[in-house]
Chains A and B, each alone.
Chain A
């Protein structure tokens, strides 16, 4: 990647790109945002339609526990993907399995898992402080551009292609299943399969996004872009386009703010996406008033 970074830095020095692009970590950060926006923005509109916002929050907490497990098992501090993915996948499968069988409302059950994984994560993090300075895992909690490597970026691209490809294959069934399950079933969609399928794709995407956005804040990027998009979209197509656009501008804006003011990337991205949400809400309110 070095010749690529050198070329970009050269363009920045000539003034063709913003000066910040002289630094490889910022180029990596921007490329990460470019890949993350379609993944999380695209998933976001299905997450909201399928009412899985709380599920995503629980997955973020599970990732925190997964990091702790990975580090305790000896994974490198910079890439505890095994623990993260392993535990998140386990939590996902358990949540979907129990949700499908229990008679309690889904949000109550997910609340139980949420509390369980968070409690376990906190206990394990305290154990971890005997081996690491807890600030060393801060990047996973809140996201940090400084720790994103070329390997992380490559993983993000590969997962993005896989998730995108699989999502395209099942998109229509997923949307119909979200609208009306019996109708989807008559049309040949397998509800059980779709529920596990989407939950696993969401898990994969969240895990690879964590180093940039952080475990505690990743839920924001899988919920708020679609929430903002709903305020302005008029069809399924524009819903997707707006979700991706919001995720991209929030990512790029958050990146710029975190570089300028030296604050965690995740926090800055969440602030940016929340700001966009309120702007779109205002647009929706104004449109409604002009119609009345």
Chain B
């Protein structure tokens, strides 16, 4: 795949629910290795766009993903509601996709080592045995990011990753995303309300309000 070919091509994407257009003929190109931010007001269709990109909902139009490797997607959802009595620990959760053996039979040494390394990567060393339900919002975001980073994704999709985070956690997330881009040529799609942070982080921005309102470098879109 040539370096000029965008990783993601979205052409005339239209999604309707009850005859109402949630997205209307949206076309976006996401360049390989870029951090592309999607911004817009509530109800603009940002999460709907991600759902279509992930193949979770039917749509009209075309979405093409031009993978150069295994085509792995890392995804951090906007919400992750957990039943407060559910006894699933951080290690259990991370091991779910890192071993074939059911996690209810225990976590094998390989998955345990991977889990520890992932938690170290997001600054949560030693949190393996803590139940998911008692994590703070910031800790949970970090665990979800750790989950999304292994196996190494070619495309990382983050849906409002900073929502509900305190300033320190949000700053940590910003630094981490910057480091990830520098260390690897990771393509990142970031849905966010935080225009200041988007301005600092993004290469390109698409402003959405059920259709594309503006697209370009952050300084142009937010001018």
Instruction: Return the chain A residue nearest B92 by Cβ.
Output: A236
Query: Which chain B residues numbered 59 to 83 have a C-beta less than 8 Å away from chain A?
Result: 73-75, 77, 80, 82-83
Q: Is A187 an interface residue (CB 8 A)?
A: yes
Residues on A with C-beta less than 8 A from B56 are 182, 185
Query: Which chain B residues numbered 114 to 144 have a C-beta less than 8 Å away from chain A?
Result: 129, 131-132, 144
- Which of B80, B89, B100, B105 sits near A180, CB closer than 8 Å? B80
Contact with B along A151-186 (1 / 0, CB 8 A): 000000000000000011001100110011011011
Contact at A182–B103, with CB atoms within 8 Å? Answer: no
Q: Is A235 an interface residue (CB 8 A)?
A: yes
Q: Separation in Å of the A82 CB from the closest CB of chain B?
A: 32
Chain B CB count within 10 A is highest, among A175, A234, A235, A239, for A235
Q: Is B213 an interface residue (CB 8 A)?
A: no
Residues on A with C-beta less than 8 A from B131 are 234
Residues on A with C-beta less than 8 A from B86 are 49, 230
Given the known interface contacts A176-B96, A182-B56, A183-B147, the answer about A233 and B87 at a Cβ–Cβ threshold of 8 Å is yes
- Bound CA span A168–B105, Å: 9
Q: Interface majority SS on B: helix, strand, loop or mixed?
A: loop
Residues on B with C-beta less than 8 A from A234 are 87, 89, 129, 131
Q: Interface majority SS on A: helix, strand, loop or mixed?
A: helix
- Which of A49, A182, A230 sits near B51, CB closer than 8 Å? A182
Contact at A230–B96, with CB atoms within 8 Å? Answer: no
Residues on B with C-beta less than 8 A from A175 are 88, 96, 103-104
Contact at A172–B55, with CB atoms within 8 Å? Answer: no
Q: Is A237 an interface residue (CB 8 A)?
A: yes
- Bound CA span A240–B88, Å: 11
Given the known interface contacts A172-B96, A176-B96, A183-B75, the answer about A239 and B54 at a Cβ–Cβ threshold of 8 Å is no
Q: Separation in Å of the B161 CB from the closest CB of chain A?
A: 14
- Bound CA span A66–B55, Å: 39
Q: Is A6 an interface residue (CB 8 A)?
A: no
- Which of A180, A187, A231, A239 sits near B104, CB closer than 8 Å? A239
Residues on B with C-beta less than 8 A from A238 are 87
Q: Is B176 an interface residue (CB 8 A)?
A: no
Additional A-B contacts beyond A172-B100, A179-B132 (7; CB < 8 A): A45-B104, A182-B77, A183-B77, A230-B85, A233-B87, A234-B89, A236-B103
